[in-house]
Amino acid sequence: MAAGIVLITGASRGIGRGLAAKFAAEGWQVLAAARRTSDVPRDPAIHAVPLDVLSDDSVREAAETIAAGFPHIDVLVNNAAVFPGDGNERLEDTPLEWFEEAFAANVVGVARVTRAFLPLLRKSASARIINISSGAGTISEKTDADYYPYSVSKAALNMLTRAMAAEYRGEKIPVYALSPGWVKTEMGGSNAPLSVEESAGSLFRTMTRLGLDKSGGFFGRDGEVYPW
Ligand SMILES: NC(=O)c1ccc[n+]([C@@H]2O[C@H](COP(=O)([O-])OP(=O)(O)OC[C@H]3O[C@@H](n4cnc5c(N)ncnc54)[C@H](OP(=O)(O)O)[C@@H]3O)[C@@H](O)[C@H]2O)c1
C-alpha cells in the first residue's frame, strides 16, 4: 500500500519504537502513541501522542486530539503489551493478578483502542488493523507449561483478531495477527536472535503487503502462515 498515516501503540521502546522509525523512514506520517511520549523517536514525521491502553479517558483524549489534526488513519498497529513475571512460574506460583494485567493490556486494551479509532479508520480509503501477537499464543503447538498469563492473553488476542476480521470484512477493513519473532527488547531479553530493526523491517513489509483476502489470518513477520 502507498504511504499514509499509521498509529502505533507502545511506541516508547522495543518493537513499537522501531516500527515508528521504520514507517517514518518509508515516508509515512506516524502517530506514535505512548505512555512516555518523551521516549518516542524524534523525527519530523513522527507525532507523539499520549496514550495508555488501560485508560478509557486516555484513549478517548488521544482519539479526539488525533481527529482534530489528521483526516484519517490508514493503519492501526496494536503493539503495546505486557509480559508479567519472567515466564517460568508454575501455575501455583503465578499471582492471579498477572492474568488480569495481561488481559487488561493485551486483549481489552486492543479492543479499547480499536473501538476508539474505528471512526478515523473508516475515513481512510484503505484501512487495516494489525494486532501484534506472538507464537506464544499458538494453542495447537503448545507442549510445555510456561508463560501462563502472557500466552493465554495472546491466544485470546488471536480470537479477538478473528472476530474483528469477521465483523469488519464487510467494510473492507482487514484485521491481521502478526508475530514479530523473538526480538531483543525489554520483553524479549538479550538472548533473542533478532534486532528491533530486523523485526520492524520485515513487519513493515508484511503489514503493508498483506491482501484483503488474508484478513483474519495469523502470520509471522515475513508473512508466513502461523498455526493457531
Ligand atoms: N520481543 C519479543 O521477542 C516478542 C515476541 C513475540 C511478541 N512480541 C510482541 O511484540 C509487541 C512489542 O513487544 P516488545 O518486545 O517491544 O515489548 P517491550 O519492549 O516490553 O515494549 C512494550 C511496549 O508496550 C508499551 N505498553 C505497555 N503497557 C502499555 C499501556 N498500558 N499503554 C501504552 N503502552 C503500553 C510499553 O510502554 P512503556 O514504555 O510505557 O512501558 C512499551 O512501549 C508486544 O505486543 C509483544 O507481545 C514480542
Q: Can you state the angle between helices 109-122 and 56-69, rounded to 10 degrees?
A: 20
Amino acid at the residue 187? M
All domains in the chain, ordered by first residue: 5-219 (3.40.50.720)
62 CB less than 6 Å from ligand 1? Answer: no
Contact (Cβ atoms closer than 8 angstroms) between residue 117 and residue 7? yes
Which grid coordinates belong to 193? 536472535
Q: Is 128 helix (H, G, I), strand (E, B) or coil?
A: strand
Q: How far apart are CA 228 and CA 216, in angstroms?
A: 11
Query: Measured from the CB, is residue 40 less than 6 Å from ligand 1?
Result: no
Residue range 119-134: average pLDDT? Answer: 98
For residues 74-97, give the mean pLDDT: 96
pLDDT computed for residue 33 by the predictor: 98
What pLDDT is attached to residue 135? 96
DSSP state of 183: B
Q: Say what the pLDDT of residue 91 is.
A: 96
Active site residues: 150
Say if ligand 1 is within 6 A of residue 4 CB: no
**Ligand 1 mean position to 105 CA, how many Å?**
10
Q: If you ran DSSP here, which 8-state letter would residue 212 be given?
A: G
Count how many Cα atoms sit within 13 Å of the Cα of residue 87 in the half-sphere of its side chain. Answer: 11
Give the Å distance between the CA of 65 and the centre of ligand 1.
Answer: 23
| Model pLDDT for residues 167-221, shown as the tens digit of each residue | 999 999 999 999 999 999 999 999 999 999 999 999 999 999 999 999 999 999 9
Which ligand 1 atom lies nearest to the CA of residue 136? 6
pLDDT digits (tens, 9 = 90+) for 135-178: 999 999 999 888 999 999 999 999 999 999 999 999 999 999 99
For residue 42, give the C-alpha cell: 524524534
Say if strands 5-9 and 29-34 run parallel, antiparallel, or are unpaired.
parallel
- According to DSSP, the residues that pair with 218 across neighbouring strands are 177
Given ligand 1 and candidates 130, 185, 191, 207, which is best to mutate, with the most ligand atoms within 8 Å of its CB?
185
Give mean pLDDT, residues 57-85.
Answer: 98
